[in-house]
């Protein structure tokens, strides 16, 4: 593992998952009481401006964040041509599991509750990982996600799940509703008016960040009352 620190209490980390070396950006705000791991969607990375905006909102709310590349650099290059890994939900979930195991061994964050934030296919990976590790994952948020791809793992999820979808993303709304009907845990669907799949409309991502902050604060930091 290699770590590079700077004065903003951010770390660039390397996490091993089998033979793969995964890179991530870890941000720890002062007094944090929980950490949220981000699983990006198809064709994206930890540098996604959308996920980074949401992560910044969580940091402002006192939540640590780990923005993680679920594919190695070589895999991303190959994936751009073959697209053979973006729907390999099992592989992506295994790598989320490795990231959580790494967090559990961290001296500063090891005892903190964990949340997962997934976008697109990353949402399915987050739900599979939550089903596999109910003792670790306390809450999940999906943004424009494909939770339906979690398949038979959906009824096994025990933690609270929030599904955020754009109003103009009609096919994905129905997929989210179908997935929610298969889950037995606390589930909430929030639909952002006017938003499309990537939430590129003015103010849409800010609404996502606020909803996610409130959900994670409620379920990871119950002693803190979310701001109005």
- What is the pLDDT confidence band of residue 223, given thresholds at 50, 70 and 90? confident
44: left (phi over 0), alpha (psi -120 to 50) or beta: beta
Per-residue pLDDT tens digits for 11-29 = 899 999 999 899 999 999 9
**Any idea which of 18-22, 47-51, 54-58, 194-198 has the lowest mean pLDDT?**
47-51
- What is the pLDDT confidence band of residue 3, given thresholds at 50, 70 and 90? very low
DSSP code for 196: -
Name the pairing type of β-strands 10-17 and 3-5. antiparallel
Name the pairing type of β-strands 35-39 and 64-68. parallel
Mean pLDDT of all residues in 140-165: 97
Residue-level pLDDT at 226: 47
Mean pLDDT of all residues in 37-65: 86
Burial of 35 (0-12, 13-18, 19+ CB in 10 A): buried
For the chain, the domains span 3-220
Instruction: Write down the CATH number for the domain with range 3-220.
Output: 3.40.50.1820
User: Do 99 and 24 form a contact (C-beta atoms < 8 A)?
Assistant: yes
Residue-level pLDDT at 225: 53
């Amino acid at each position: 593992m290699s770590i590079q620190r700077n004065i903003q209490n951010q770390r660039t980390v390397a996490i091993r998952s089998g033979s793969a070396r995964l890179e991530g950006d870890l941000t720890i705000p002062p007094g944090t009481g929980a950490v949220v791991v981000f699983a990006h969607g198809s064709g994206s990375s930890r540098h996604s401006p959308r996920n980074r905006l949401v992560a910044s909102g969580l940091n402002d709310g006192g939540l640590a964040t780990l923005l993680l590349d679920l594919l190695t650099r070589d895999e991303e290059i190959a994936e751009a041509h073959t697209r053979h890994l973006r729907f390999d939900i099992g592989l992506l979930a295994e790598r989320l599991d490795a990231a959580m195991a790494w967090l559990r061994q961290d001296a500063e964050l090891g005892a903190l509750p964990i949340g997962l934030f997934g976008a697109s296919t990353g949402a399915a990976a987050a739900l599979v990982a939550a089903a596999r590790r109910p003792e670790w994952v306390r809450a999940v948020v999906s943004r424009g996600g494909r939770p339906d791809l979690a398949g038979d793992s959906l009824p096994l999820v025990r933690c609270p799940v929030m599904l955020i979808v754009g109003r103009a993303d009609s096919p994905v709304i129905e997929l989210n509703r179908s997935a929610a009907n298969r889950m037995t845990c606390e589930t909430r669907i929030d639909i952002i008016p006017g938003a499309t799949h990537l939430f590129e409309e003015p103010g849409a991502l800010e609404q996502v960040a606020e909803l996610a902050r409130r959900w994670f604060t409620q379920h990871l930091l119950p002693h803190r009352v979310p701001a109005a």
